[in-house]
Amino acid sequence: MKRILVTGGAGFLGSHLCERLVESGHDVLCVDNYFTGSKSNIAHLLGNPRFELMRHDVTFPLYVEVDEIYNLACPASPIHYQHDPVQTTKTSVHGAINMLGLAKRLKARILQASTSEVYGDPEVHPQPESYWGRVNPIGVRSCYDEGKRCAETLFFDYWRQHRLPIKVVRIFNTYGPRMHPNDGRVVSNFIVQALRGQDITIYGDGSQTRSFCYVDDLIEAMQRMMATPEEITGPVNVGNPGEFSMLELAEKVIQLTASSSRLEFRPLPSDDPSQRQPDIGLARRVLNGWQPTVALDEGLDRTIAYFKKRLSV
C-alpha cells in the first residue's frame, strides 16, 4: 500500500486514475482547484477511507507526505486552456516546479501527464518519442504546448541534476465517461450533438485524422509506467494508434446513437494539426507488452451510455 498524490484528480483522467488506485488498495490524496474538474467526478469515492480530497491550486506550493505523485493538473481542451492562457502556462510550469520540489523533498516517484501536443503540427507520422516536434511558440495553443514542453524540460533537469525518479508519458487523444460535455473535444462534442439531435460540427473538410484511446487503456499504461525501473524515465507515447478521420468518427457516432443529426462544416481553427498518431513501440517494450485493448466502437458505446445518463436523453 502506498500514499499517492494525484493532482488534477477531479478531472476526466484524474478521476479514473484515483478510482483505479483506490481499488488497488492505495491511499489516494486527490488535489484539484475544480477549474475544469468537478466533485461529481469523484463523489463516489468520498466515503472511502482510502480517499482524501483537497482543494488546492498547484501553482502554489504544497506540503504533504506521499510516496508517489501523478501530476495531471492542467486544463486539457483548447476552450479551457485558452480561457486564461497565462494561468495555463503557470499551471504547467509553476505546477511542475512545485510538484517536483515536493517529490525531491520526499524522494518520491513523480509522473508527468504530458501530451502529444509537444509534437505540434508534426512532419513525421506516426510520431516517435525521438521526434522533437514542430510547435508554434507564439500562437494561441502555445500556452498549453510550450507549457507542457517546459514541464518536460523541468522533469528531465530534476532527473539529471538530482536523480529524482521521474516518469513522463505523452498522452494522445483519450476519451471516455466523465469527459466534460462542453469543452469542445471532438469525441464529447460529436456525442453530445448527436444525442441532442443537433448538427455535428466538423472543422475543415473532416479529412484530418486523430487516434482515440479509451480511458481504461490509458490509466493502465500510466500505472505500468509508474512501476517501471528507475532508469525508465520516458518520454513514452501512450495512446491508440488506430487512425480515424473526423468524418469517420462522426459517422460512427451517428450510427451508434441512432441519431438523425447531419454534418455541418466550419473553417479550421489556427494551428490545428492535420494528422496525429502515436508510435507506441516504446510503450509496448517498456510497459510489459502494454497495448490498447478497447476498440473504438466499444469505447464509444460506453461513453455514449455515460452522456445519455448525464444529459438525461
- Mark residues 70-109: x for contact with ligand NAD by CB under 6 A, - for none: --xxxxx--------------x---x--------------
Q: Which residues, at least 6 apart from 241, have a Cβ–Cβ distance to it below 8 Å?
A: 126, 211, 277, 278, 279, 280, 292
Residues 121 and 135: their CA atoms lie apart, in Å, by 6
Please choose, out of 26-34, 135-143, 196-204, 224-232, the segment that lies near ligand NAD by the rule CB under 6 A: 26-34
Residues 134 and 108: their CA atoms lie apart, in Å, by 33
Angle among Cα 17, 20, 24 to the nearest 5 degrees reads 135
Q: Does 58 bind ligand NAD (CB under 6 A)?
A: yes
Nearest distance from residue 197's CB to ligand NAD, in Å? Answer: 26
Kindly name the residue from 70, 81, 119, 144 that is annotated as catalytic.
Answer: 144
Q: Does 45 bind ligand NAD (CB under 6 A)?
A: no
Q: Which is closer to ligand NAD, CB of 35 or CB of 158?
A: 35
Residues 224 and 203: their CA atoms lie apart, in Å, by 36
- CB–CB of 225/169 below 8 Å? yes
> With contacts defined by CB under 6 A, how many residues of the chain interact with ligand NAD?
29
Tell me, yes or no, if 144 is annotated catalytic. yes
Q: Does 174 bind ligand NAD (CB under 6 A)?
A: yes
Lookup result for grid cell 472511502: 48
List the one residue from 20, 48, 59, 247 that touches ligand NAD (CB under 6 A). Answer: 59
- CB–CB of 304/257 below 8 Å? yes
Q: Give the SS3 label for residue 153.
A: helix
Nearest distance from residue 262's CB to ligand NAD, in Å? Answer: 27
**Residues labelled catalytic:** 144
What is the contact surface with ligand NAD in residues (CB under 6 A)? 7-8, 10-14, 32-37, 57-59, 72-76, 91, 95, 113, 115, 171, 173-174, 180
